Amino acid sequence: MRKLQIGSPSVTTIDAHKYWNATDICLEIGASYRFEVEGEQFWYDARIRSDADGYTKPWLHWAEMFRRKPNENWFSLIGNIGQSGEQEFLIGKKLENYKATSSGELFCYANDVPIMYFNNHGALILTITRLS
């Protein structure tokens, strides 16, 4: 696992079809980070195109409680320290000055219903920069 140096960005690819995307990047407790999906990048929930901020559809309202992170948009980019699901946070297209609450590997995913990753495709390029 790589620890980031202050001011040196690291780039990783987040695949929509993976339940957990390992980044090989170690976030350190108390350190601050910036996350950014630059430019026009999209991934797909079946045939629905989405950027890292995700999407909403009125006809899917009934299923929102089944998403991995129910209060965030469908297909929003979510980060997690480790794979427990207890240290998750919304990244979206840009997250400035995130302070890590524990140390561990950064994992990411598209916010979807756990059993529905089979119909997801596409990937986003995520840039992570340690700020302090």
Q: Name which of 6, 3, 25 is nearest 132 in CA terms.
A: 6
pTM score of the predicted model: 0.96
- Residue 126 has a pLDDT of 98
Task: Kindly state the average pLDDT of the residues 104-112.
Answer: 98
Number of domains comprising the chain? 1
Give the CATH number for residue 26.
2.60.120.430
What residue type is 55 in one-letter code? Y
Model confidence band, residue 84 (pLDDT cutoffs 50, 70, 90): confident
* Residue ranges making up the domain that contains 120: 2-130
CA dihedral angle for residue 14, residue 97, residue 73, residue 123, rounded to 10 degrees: -10
